[in-house]
Amino acid sequence: MMSQALDELARHALPGLAFTPGRHQLPAAQFHTDQADARLYLHGATVTDYQPAGQKPVLFTSRAAYFDGKKAIRGGIPVCFPWFSTHPTDPDAPAHGLVRTKPWQVTATTQTPQGPRLELATNLEHLHAAIHLTVGSALQLRFIASNKTTTPQRFELALHTYLCVGNIHQARITGLEHADYLDNLDHRARKTQDADPITFTSELDRVYLDTQQDVTLHDPTWNRRIVVQQTGAGSTVVWNPWIDKSKRMADLGDEEYEHFCCIETGCIADNAITLEPGQSHTVDLTLQTK
């Protein structure tokens, strides 16, 4: 399905929310209010930018990211659904599911007390997905999956959030102490986080399980904390590709690993969700700076 044309999207414009051509003319929703600026591409419903007024950017998007309307955008909040990483049975299926490379449809816009809200949706064969993005002094992203069929449907999800940091060598993450995780760099071996904050000294790629608590990215370089709050998701992925993997990635600059880490909110492995026919599941993600 093609992206909706900008003239068709114009009827959804609100004060503080316009539809404009983004990079390479891809249709995008541009938020601009007293509280914050943000941008979402209809391609993948990918939020690429969020910047509260007077602050540095919260979301990292690579300067080498593709904006070709085909590949996933490297940065922001790509949506991985209905599977995370490789497909459970089909090795030829794309990594991280089907919807981060699909054109999503705008279904509604509303003005809320927090700021403008944009609602989008996309359909897969068995599942329907919707996103509600509200831009204010916090960024609120709601993801809703619904089972359209007459049989149970299992899915995984990751809201694959790339967060800016001043310097990865100084950054640390709290909130995941003592949590079990699957180590993607060790054949998904199950391990337990110790009592210390997570720091970055080499490639790190972990799926933390049964995590309901807030997770905080501490950034002493920029004198800022980013708090990641969620409901409805049980997993938190922490990822930084470090030096060698960055060099292998065509859509990431060689030095850019120093300026982001991913804290992904989702439902992965043991925390995957099975929807009964007609049932829906909602995940709420909030990003707030302190």
| Interaction mask 152-191, ligand BG6, x per CB under 6 A | --------x-----------------------x-------
Q: Which of residues 78-137 bind ligand BG6 (CB under 6 A)?
A: 95-96
Q: Which of 9, 135, 139, 237 binds ligand BG6 (CB under 6 A)?
A: 237
Q: Which is nearer to ligand BG6, 12 or 96 (CB)?
A: 96
Q: Which is nearer to ligand BG6, 96 or 259 (CB)?
A: 96
Q: How far is the CB of 7 from ligand BG6 (least distance, A)?
A: 32
| 43 near ligand BG6 (CB under 6 A) | no
Q: How far is the CB of 157 from ligand BG6 (least distance, A)?
A: 12
| The three-state (H, E, C) secondary structure of the chain, written as one string | CCCCCHHHHHHHCECCEEEEECHHHCEEEEEECCCEEEEEECECCEEEEEEECCCCCCECECCCCCCCCCCCCCECECEEECCCCCCCCCCCCCCCECHHHCECEEEEEEEECCEEEEEEEEECCCEEEEEEEEECCCEEEEEEEEECCCCCEEECEEECCEEECCCCCCCEEECCCCCEEEECCCCCEEEECCCCCEECCCCEEEEECCCCCCEEEEECCCCEEEEEEEECCCEEEEEECHHHHHHHCCCCCCCHHHHEEEEEEEECHHHCEEECCCCEEEEEEEEEEC
Query: What is the binding site for ligand BG6 (CB under 6 A)?
Result: 72, 95-96, 160, 184, 205, 237, 239, 264
